[in-house]
Amino acid sequence: MSPRAKKVKVGPIGPDIDLDKEEVYLANGERLTEARAEQLVAELQAEHRRSAGRPSVTGKTEHTPNLTVRVAPATRAKLQEIAAAQGRRLADVTRDALDEYLARHAS
């Protein structure tokens, strides 16, 4: 840390500062500059985008499209029974049912 750098008590967010004029250091001793702050924000935003929502069914970080379908109460009840018996989520059982239907009827 430079001789003129002052330690800042961690507390509520205060006024904005110019990180290229003020000396602020991260916990690892690295100086926080405007450029480094922008880089950290971009990394955090990218990580948030990757982790937001449910995991992709493809196992990758790509978006999985969704499909909303109306079914009769009896159909939903049967799907829920199967899901409960298998210890699985309703969405997973429904996805498997659609995949099986497509395997039988797709040309």
Q: For residues 9 and 51, state if they share a domain.
A: yes
- Across the chain, mean pLDDT equals 85
Residue 62 in contact with residue 56, Cβ under 8 Å?
Answer: yes
pLDDT in tens, 65-78: 889 999 999 999 99
Q: For residues 1 and 28, state if they share a domain.
A: yes
Q: For residues 18 and 47, state if they share a domain.
A: yes
What share of the chain in percent tops pLDDT 90?
A: 53
Task: Please give the Cα distance from 16 to 73 (Å, whole number).
Answer: 56
Q: For residues 100 and 49, state if they share a domain.
A: no
Residue 61 lies in a domain: no
Q: For residues 16 and 41, state if they share a domain.
A: yes
Residue 66 lies in a domain: no
Q: Smallest Cα–Cα separation from 93: which of 106, 105, 78? A: 78
Which residues have a Cβ under 8 Å from the Cβ of 4 and sit 6 or more positions away? 23
Residue 2 lies in a domain: yes
Max mean pLDDT among 10-19, 30-39, 43-52, 60-69 falls in 30-39
- Domain holding 33, by residue range, is 1-56
